Amino acid sequence: MTVNRITAAPGAQLSVIPTDKFKSNYFALNFYLPLEKQSAGELSLLSRVMLRGTEPHPSIGELNRYTDMLYNLTFSLAVSAIGSVQTFSFRMDFLGDRFVPQAEKADILDSALDFAQEFFCRPLVRDGAFLSEYVESERKLLIDRIEGEINNKDRYAMRRGRMHLLGEHPAAISPNGDIETVSCVTGAQLYERFRSILVNAHAEALYVGEFSPDTEGKLLDVLRKILPENRVDAPMPETDSFKPASDGVGEIVEEAKTRQGRMVLGYSLPYTGEESPVANAFIEIFSASPVSRLFANVREKLNLCYYCSASMDFSLGIMTVMSGISEKNVEKARAEISRQLNGMASGDVSDTELDRARSAIVSSIKTLKDTPSSLGEWYLRRIVQGAPSDIDALMDGVGRVSAEQVAEFASRARLCMAYFLRGTDE
C-alpha cells in the first residue's frame, strides 16, 4: 500500500492512497480539537445544521436531490471522539467514473470535489449566523437524540459505565454534546465555531481511490480553497491516558425498564502506541473471538449470558467488559471474568492461543485493504493515536509477540468500576 502524505496547508495534511481496486472512491476531511463540553455541544449541533443546506442547495431536499443525481454520492458530517480528542469529520463516498453507464457520461470525481468545496465554502449563513430556522429545528432533533440514548440499552449502559469509570477525565464528555449546552447555542456562535475550526484545528484529509496525474493537484486545490490562508499550524491534540482516582472499585447500580440487565466492568490498562501488537494479542485471546476466554467460559461453559466481550480504548488505556445478563448471574460472571484475567496475568497463555491470536490479527490487518472506507478510517485513527501505520511492519510486530509479553500486559489490568443496569422487567 502506497500512502502519499503531503502538507496541504499549515496544520493540515493530505494522505492519498491511489488504487483502482474499488468501484467507489472515498474522501474524508477531519478536524481535531480537544474534547470540551462547550465545543462538543456546538460541533454536534453545527454538524446537523450544515447538513440542512448550502447556499446553492439551500434545503435538505435540494441537497439530497443533487447528490442522488451524482449516482448516490453519500456524504456525512459527524462528531466523535478518540480518547479526549474531538473529531469533526466530513466524509464522501462516490461511484468511480468508469462505472457510470456509457450513455450517461458524468465526471463524478470532479463533481464530488466541487461539492466538498461548496459544502465548506458556501454554507447557508445570513449576517454572520447560520439560518435560525435550521438551528432551531436541529436543536430540537439533537436534544431528542441525546434523550433517545436510553432507547439502545447496550449503548446506554456502555456510555453510563464509561462515564462512571472516567469521572473527571475529559474523555467522559459525550462528543454528541449535552442538553444544557445545546439548548442555548446561537446560530452566530455556530458560525464563529465553524470559522474557528477552519483556522485553528489540526486537519487531516484523506483520499482513497482512482487516480490520474491531475488528481492530487485537484485535491490540494480544493483543500486550499476550504482552509483559510491565515490558518494556524496546529499540531494534533494529545490524549492524556486515564489514571484511576482511587484504589477502590466503584460499584454503581441503576435501573431501566428492560427484560435483561447490562453489566459493564471498567479497568485501567496502561498502554503506549508501540505496544499495539501485544495489546491486540491480549484482547484477541481474552475476548475477541468465539474461542476467546470470555466466550468459551462465561458463555459456552457456564452458560451465563448470550454475549460477554471486552474492548480496549487504546487512546486512554482502559478496557471495558460488557455483558447482557440476568441479575442472578452477575456475581458468577464477575468471578469468572476475574479468574480468566488473573490466569492470563499469571502466565497461563498457551502457544495455541498465541498462534490463533497472531493469525487472527494478521488476517484482520490484511482485510483492511479490501474496502476504501475501512482502510481510510483505520489509517486516520492510527495518526490520531500516534501509532505506527505501516501495515507490513505491524504484521511483523504481531509475529514477534510472546506469551510473556501478553501475560505482563494482562497483569496491568486493574478493575476500577463495576456498573450494572438492572432490568426491572426481568
Partner 1 sequence: MIQANNLTETKKSRLLGEEYTLIRHKSGLDIYVVKKDFSATYAVFGTRYGSLDNCFRIKGEERPVEVPEGIAHFLEHKMFEMEDGRDAFELYAETGAEANAYTSIDRTAYLFSCTSDFETNLRTLLRMVTSPFFTEQTVKKEQGIIGEEIRMCEDRPWDALHYGLMRAVYKAHPVRIPITGTVESIAEITPELLYNCYNTFYNLRNMALCICGNVDVESVAAIADEMLEIAPSCEIERILPEESPEVDHSREIIEMQVSKPMFSIGVKDCESAEGEPCHYEAVRNLLCESLFGMSGDLYSELYESGAVGGYGAAYFTERDIGLLNIYGDCDDPEAVFEKFREYAERVAQTGVSEEQFIRARRVLYAQTVRSFESSSDIAEAFFSAFAAGQELFDYAEEIYRVTKEEVDMLARRLFRPERYAMCVLKPVE
| Closest CB 106 distance from partner 1, rounded Å | 9
Give the range of 39-47, 147-155, 204-212, 312-320 binding partner 1 by CB under 8 A: 147-155
- In the shown chain, the binding pattern of residues 155 to 194 toward partner 1, with x for contact by CB under 8 A and - for none, equals ----------------------------------------
CB atoms within 10 A of CB 123: 19
> Applying CB under 8 A, which of residues 116, 358, 382, 397 lies at the interface with partner 1?
358
Angstrom distance (rounded) from CA 78 to CA 423: 32
Q: Kindly indicate which of the ranges 55-63, 158-166, 334-342, 408-416 contains the residues binding partner 1, using the contact rule CB under 8 A.
A: 55-63
The smaller minimum CB distance to partner 1, of residues 60 and 245, is found at 60
C-alpha to C-alpha distance for 325 and 154, rounded to whole angstroms = 11
Q: Does 137 bind partner 1 (CB under 8 A)?
A: yes
| Residue 66 or 196 with smaller CB distance to partner 1 | 66
Q: How many residues does the chain have?
A: 426
Cβ proximity of 126 and 53 under 8 Å: no
Q: By CB under 8 A, which span of 84-92, 140-148, 162-170, 399-407 interacts with partner 1? A: 140-148
**Region of 97-105, 176-184, 332-340, 403-411 interacting with partner 1 (CB under 8 A):** 97-105
Which is nearer to partner 1, 140 or 195 (by Cβ)? 140
Binding characters for partner 1, 291-330, by CB under 8 A (x = yes): x-------xx--x-xxx----------------xxx----
User: Which stretch, 63-71, 173-181, 242-250, 269-277, contacts partner 1 (CB under 8 A)?
Assistant: 63-71
Q: CA-to-CA distance for 136 and 183, rounded, in angstroms?
A: 9
Cα–Cα dist 41/31, whole Å: 16
**Min dist. Cβ of residue 247 to partner 1 (A):** 34
DSSP per-residue letters across 188-222: HHHHHHHHHHHHHSEEEEEEEE---TTHHHHHHHH
Q: Which helix (H) or strand (E) holds 14?
A: strand 12-18
Minimum distance between the CB of residue 111 and partner 1, rounded to whole angstroms?
Answer: 13
> Can you read off the three cell numbers belonging to residue 321?
467488559
153 lines the binding site for partner 1 (CB under 8 A): yes
CA trace torsion 365, 369, 371, 375 (10° rounding): 70
For residue 30, what is its C-alpha cell? Answer: 477531519
Q: Which residues contact 317 (CB under 8 A, 6 or more apart)?
A: 241, 242, 268, 269, 270, 271
> Which one of 20, 107, 110, 147 is in contact with partner 1 (CB under 8 A)?
147
C-alpha cell at 131: 439560518
Min. distance of Cβ 423 from partner 1 in angstroms? 8
Q: What angle do CA 250, 255, 259 make, to 5 degrees?
A: 125
* Edge-to-edge strand ranges of the sheet holding 12-18: 4-9, 12-18, 202-209, 24-34, 85-95, 74-82
Residues interacting with partner 1, by CB under 8 A? 21-24, 59-61, 64-65, 67-69, 71-72, 93, 95, 98-99, 101, 104, 137, 140-141, 144-145, 147-153, 256-260, 289-291, 299-300, 303, 305-307, 324-326, 355-356, 358-364, 366-367, 369-372, 423, 426
